[in-house]
A and B are shown apart, each in its own frame.
Chain A
């Protein structure tokens, strides 16, 4: 599945007005509303927000891996190179998952098969997605991919089972598996959250190198603004199922315009903050999807909110070259 990128300048992935709902009994609740963004080849876009903001649901919808039958796409489209992914026959989708689009997850232990060795799991991806690799050559190709993911001594340690490997090593196996299908888009869902900080730094460098070498697009999901600053070209901040700020990563990090983005950046302690000083915190918690208000969803936690914020829904609009969902954001 190695199609040359179309020379139209069209983005690799186009997500347009994507709304996902979950049903329980007869009621369906929208958990994300009108999420739109694009990922181009060679670009890293970060989806950032706290738990329950709709980041993983959005990734699940792109991969068509929403829990069934509860989760459904209510509206919107997902296009990979102009092809509508959501309406593809399932058989074709099997070819895309693990092939053109690969995904890595937070806890590799739960995504790896515990009864197969690291190397065999990479071989399996080659068998499913790489008809160009002859059966006899799969072992050698698996070793090469493990080596590319900086997995040490793949010919020897590749015979280990997942439980014998550290968290960082397991994530390298996942990355080798993701590379095996020669993906054009890599979706990474909090891949470093469970790792120690030194290993996190190694994995972030590895992903950045692989993205550059293979010209992959990357959709990187995280709750951590510091990680965003290390890896992302563009950032999509989500709150309560909506995009609240969307722009170039350096600009958003340097001058956040939405009060939620500002809060996220301010509430994490920094190495240059005054020890034992009070941290800026965001009062309250993310509302449940059934409690999303019709007006601004952040109003109840926002230091700037007044009656006008609670009068009507707030649209995502252009402010200083990016998109912001706030009527208080300076124009």
Chain B
């Protein structure tokens, strides 16, 4: 890129370069390799939302897990603020763990059923800060306000809450360390539609308030389009199309993107 002027650009929050992940599988028929991600290169800028859409097995969740180093890539790199996270020391990795937080599909599985909500939200503060107990408790109370839960819910256990309330707890825990980026893997897929709208609105508000970047993964194209600045369409571990969220729906270039768009029900419902 010799033509671009040398500006001191802020590196993107996340960047992947030629990311490949293979999984070894054993079946009756023998061992073979599954290519879960094939040469994925993309980036997420500060305060930007990158949407990722694709069907079961397209590699969406594998990509999320690579970003926060829950998986190590087979080949390629994940850069966090310009640094290759595969080479980070344990100490430097702490910065990534604080700055990038993940929200999973089913909060019933990602919240410890034996801990009250207050303790769940406080846990990242216990591990990552040296704050005294009172300061941590105040922060938990603030976080409960932020996500729209009554303060008394700190004493409740996850099973006493509804699905939407549990996802609010997961969001409060993710915000505890003031992250720069949220990686949301199907955060509303397990929720009823009216609750889904509440959680999507909450995420949009929080993003604006805290200047968060976001990776938003869903199988639901309407939801991804609504939340994202840019959208990557994945199929069989590859990104088959990437464009601004308005463009990709108006002028889909890829045949698979067109098929996905054509499959969305509800075209006859008037707006």
**In-complex Cβ contact of B265 among A227, A273, A279, A282 (8 A):** A227
A286 to B201, CA, bound (A): 19
A230 and B192 form a contact (CB under 8 A): no
In the complex with contacts A50-B194, A224-B193, A276-B226, A198-B269 CB distance below 8 A: no
Chain A residues closer than 8 Å to B162, beta-carbon distance = 285
In the complex with contacts A198-B55, A272-B271, A276-B227, A226-B198 CB distance below 8 A: no
Main secondary structure of the interface of A (DSSP, over half): loop
Q: Does B270 contact A (CB under 8 A)?
A: yes
Residue of B55, B195, B262 with highest tally of chain A CB at under 10 A: B195
B226 and A224 form a contact (CB under 8 A): no
Chain A residues closer than 8 Å to B222, beta-carbon distance = 268-271, 273
B248-271 CB contact bits vs A (8 Å, 1 = yes)?
A: 010000000001111111111111
Residue of B162, B226, B249 with highest tally of chain A CB at under 10 A: B226
Name the interface size band of chain A.
35 or more
Q: Does A213 contact B (CB under 8 A)?
A: no
A273 and B226 form a contact (CB under 8 A): yes
Chain A residues closer than 8 Å to B229, beta-carbon distance = 275-276
A265 and B269 form a contact (CB under 8 A): yes
Shortest distance between the CB of B32 and any CB in chain A (Å): 16
Residue of A227, A276, A285 with highest tally of chain B CB at under 10 A: A276
Shortest distance between the CB of B13 and any CB in chain A (Å): 18
Chain B residues closer than 8 Å to A273, beta-carbon distance = 222, 226, 271
Chain B residues closer than 8 Å to A280, beta-carbon distance = 197
Chain B, residue nearest A52 (CB): B192
A275 and B226 form a contact (CB under 8 A): yes
**In-complex Cβ contact of A253 among B49, B164, B196, B269 (8 A):** B269
**In-complex Cβ contact of A229 among B204, B225, B265 (8 A):** B265
A281 and B198 form a contact (CB under 8 A): yes
Residue of B49, B220, B260, B265 with highest tally of chain A CB at under 10 A: B265
Q: Does A51 contact B (CB under 8 A)?
A: yes
A201 and B226 form a contact (CB under 8 A): no
A73 to B201, CA, bound (A): 40
A196 and B193 form a contact (CB under 8 A): no
In the complex with contacts A278-B201, A279-B201, A50-B193 CB distance below 8 A: yes
A279 and B266 form a contact (CB under 8 A): no
A280 to B196, CA, bound (A): 11
A269 and B226 form a contact (CB under 8 A): yes
A286 to B198, CA, bound (A): 14
In the complex with contacts A271-B261, A279-B200, A254-B270 CB distance below 8 A: yes
A271 and B249 form a contact (CB under 8 A): yes
Shortest distance between the CB of B155 and any CB in chain A (Å): 20
Q: Does A28 contact B (CB under 8 A)?
A: no
Chain B, residue nearest A50 (CB): B192
A201 to B260, CA, bound (A): 10
Q: Does A264 contact B (CB under 8 A)?
A: yes
A189 to B225, CA, bound (A): 28
Chain A residues closer than 8 Å to B226, beta-carbon distance = 269, 273, 275-277, 279
Shortest distance between the CB of B263 and any CB in chain A (Å): 4
A197 to B267, CA, bound (A): 14
Chain B residues closer than 8 Å to A196, beta-carbon distance = 55-56, 219
Which residues of chain B have a CB within 8 Å of any CB of chain A?
Answer: 49, 55-56, 162, 164, 192-198, 200-201, 204, 219-223, 225-229, 245-246, 249, 259-271
**Told that A197-B221, A282-B194 touch, could you supply 17 new A-B pairs with CB distance under 8 A?**
A50-B194, A197-B220, A197-B264, A197-B265, A198-B260, A198-B263, A223-B193, A225-B266, A253-B269, A263-B194, A270-B266, A270-B269, A273-B226, A275-B225, A275-B226, A279-B226, A280-B197
Instruction: List 17 A–B pairs whose Cβ atoms lie within 8 Å, in order of A's numbering.
Output: A50-B195, A197-B220, A197-B265, A223-B193, A226-B265, A227-B265, A263-B194, A264-B194, A267-B197, A268-B196, A268-B197, A275-B228, A275-B245, A277-B226, A279-B226, A282-B197, A285-B195
